[in-house]
């Protein structure tokens, strides 16, 4: 970490980029689990009628005890379960907060990606400018 800091205690260019890459990678790995869940539940929702999810039931054994008690002991219709899983309502307020955190993680992923891309483009321009200047000196 110390090698990433300049004399003023700030990140130097190389250190900042290394730190951004680490944050980007970590957030990407963690949020990819959410992406898999969204893709899977989204596909199920898209094809709910073809799969006849409204005719299937998800057993209470795998559901949180506080989830839709009004639906009875048999379980919850699969289309309702998948919709609530996709939206985060399955876990109530906790699910909503969790999705908010994951949304911020996706925003962080987007922003760090943009910053890294911009830094790379600026480095390419500086390198190209130096090469052009060196050719002019010859």
Mean pLDDT per 10-residue section of the chain, whose length is 138 residues: 50 71 88 90 96 96 91 94 92 89 90 88 79 61
DSSP structure string for 74-128:
S-EEHHHHHHHHHHTGGGHHHHHHHHHHHHHHHHHHHHHHHHHHHHHHHHHHHHH
The stretches of 3-91 forming alpha helices (DSSP H) are 13-46, 48-51, 78-87
DSSP 8-state secondary structure symbol assigned to residue 10: S
Predicted pLDDT at 48:
96
Predicted pLDDT at 19:
85
- For the whole model, what pTM was predicted? 0.66
Predicted pLDDT at 1:
47
């Amino acid at each position: 970490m110390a090698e990433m800091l300049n004399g003023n205690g700030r990140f130097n260019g190389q250190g900042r980029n290394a730190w951004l890459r680490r944050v980007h990678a970590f957030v990407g790995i963690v949020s990819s689990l959410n992406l898999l869940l969204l893709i899977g539940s989204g596909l199920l929702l898209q094809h709910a009628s073809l799969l006849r999810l409204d005719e299937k039931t998800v057993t209470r054994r795998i559901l949180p005890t506080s989830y839709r008690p009004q639906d009875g002991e048999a379980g919850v219709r699969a289309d309702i379960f998948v919709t609530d899983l996709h939206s985060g309502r399955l876990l109530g307020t906790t699910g909503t907060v969790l999705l908010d955190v994951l949304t911020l993680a996706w925003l962080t992923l987007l922003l760090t990606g943009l910053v890294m891309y911009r830094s790379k483009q600026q480095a390419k321009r500086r390198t190209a400018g130096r090469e052009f200047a060196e050719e002019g000196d010859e």
